[in-house]
Amino acid sequence: MRVAIIGQGYVGLTIAVGAAAAGHKVIGFDLNQDLVERLNSGKPHIEGISDSQLAGFISSGLFTASTDPSDLEGSGAIVIAVPTPLDSNRNPDLSFVHAAAELINQQVKTPALIINESTSYPGTLRNEIAPRILGVEHLFASSPERVDPGNTQWGTKNTPRLVGGLTPAALAKAREFYGSFCDSIIEVSSPEVAEAAKIFENTFRQVNIALVNEFAQISDALGISSREVIEAAATKPYGFMPFNPGPGVGGHCIPVDPSYLAHVANEVGVPATFIKRANEVNLAMPAYVVKRVIAGCGESIKDKMVVVVGVSYKSNVADTRETPAAAVIDLLREQGAKVVWHDELVGSWRGESSSPIAGADIAVVVTTHDGVDIDAIKGCGYVFDCTGYLAGVDGI
């Protein structure tokens, strides 16, 4: 089948490769000309997809990236995989989803299966996408993406895939499409259930991470190690799931998706109190880190050379979206410290480049990638670890 995927970011390219591997002829559509040229030259921009894999699909005609909207026409399936960020008031910004729907409305006159994989609140497919695509008998389904960038155990193929259709025919067609490259398809009774499941999954993580972050602060005040407590609690074979404390939450999902749920909750008159409190706790973690660093040093950090190690939001990925490292660095600078950062995957970020670790008075470890130079970190005068990766140093 000819498949068009709107948006070639983390999600869109991952699905493109999955569908191409199943023998579909994939058009990876994106507005970003540089990205499209890069992809067509066989250079993927995300972890987990190799140059040779992408180049192989290009040379066999199974993948082509395009900025030409007319390439959407004639596709059996069209997948929407565009950003769903928050606006400046932390409310859902569906402008990218609306633009994708309007693009389909203008360009696609042959009936197709239209699937939304972008994460959004329940009702998005039915109320925000389908009504913008008129005059053609398309089928509409929702299948929220669960990709975990950098995860080598769970990928598109073996992660169970939720599917909900606006009609039984749409559901059946979506099942057939995803069944061609996913091992397990879980049909739910409506697109709203699929959409809600995705944001509830991420809300579950956000709230539990906030809980463990609060618990880490309680433990520290009590003089016990939160990580040892969590390890001990996790020996219970039922009813407990371990989460680790850290400097906050980052990426496109955990800090963002729960606010989509809070928004829709507000619209139906139910206060989303857990989400609000979890946001507050997680957003306050960088300030807690800086407070602990100052307390650990035993003196002012003014004019101290500080290196923040790891600025991506999680290990072994280069993604810096919503990373708590940004607030940690800004707050350290507010205290007068001379702050540089080191990240072997990120390279350059916010107009600055990665610096060496060695020679700093203070190292604050926010994220650790495999192969990070532990000796260089431990060679710094004072080390504060937010990751639990380094033994025998201060941290959370």
Ligand X SMILES: NC(=O)c1ccc[n+]([C@@H]2O[C@H](COP(=O)([O-])OP(=O)(O)OC[C@H]3O[C@@H](n4cnc5c(N)ncnc54)[C@H](O)[C@@H]3O)[C@@H](O)[C@H]2O)c1
Residues with catalytic function: 253
315 or 335: CB nearest ligand X: 315
**Which one of residues 3, 77, 115, 147 is an interface residue with ligand X (CB under 6 A)?**
147
Binding of residue 178 to ligand X (CB under 6 A): no
Minimum separation from the CB atom of position 14 to ligand X (A):
8
Binding of residue 156 to ligand X (CB under 6 A): no
Q: Are 134 and 105 in contact (CB under 8 A)?
A: yes
Q: What is the DSSP track for 213-259?
A: HHHHHHHHHHTS-HHHHHHHHTTSSSS-------S---SSSTTTHHH
Binding of residue 76 to ligand X (CB under 6 A): no
Q: Which listed range, 31-39, 50-58, 207-215, 294-302, lies at the site for ligand X (CB under 6 A)?
A: 31-39
Binding of residue 197 to ligand X (CB under 6 A): no
Distance (Å, whole) CA 201 – CA 244: 17
**Which one of residues 82, 139, 163, 174 is an interface residue with ligand X (CB under 6 A)?**
82
Distance (Å, whole) CA 110 – CA 72: 10
Q: Which of 126, 120, 153 minimizes the C-alpha distance to 140?
A: 126
Return the HEC string of 87-108: CCCCCECCHHHHHHHHHHHHHC
Q: Which of 6, 19, 104 minimizes the C-alpha distance to 63?
A: 19
25 or 146: CB nearest ligand X: 146
**Which one of residues 15, 19, 35, 113 is an interface residue with ligand X (CB under 6 A)?**
35
Distance (Å, whole) CA 207 – CA 85: 19
Minimum separation from the CB atom of position 99 to ligand X (A):
4
Binding of residue 121 to ligand X (CB under 6 A): no
Minimum separation from the CB atom of position 336 to ligand X (A):
35
Minimum separation from the CB atom of position 347 to ligand X (A):
18
Closest residue to ligand X using C-beta atoms: 9
Q: Which two tokens stand for residue 44?
A: 């993927």
Binding of residue 165 to ligand X (CB under 6 A): no
Q: Which listed range, 94-102, 266-274, 280-288, 291-299, lies at the site for ligand X (CB under 6 A)?
A: 94-102
CA angle 76, 79, 83 (to 5 degrees): 165
DSSP letter, residue 167: S
Distance (Å, whole) CA 383 – CA 342: 14
Binding of residue 311 to ligand X (CB under 6 A): no
Binding of residue 366 to ligand X (CB under 6 A): no
Binding site for ligand X (CB under 6 A): 6-12, 29-32, 35, 81-84, 96, 99-100, 103, 118-119, 145-147, 149, 252-253
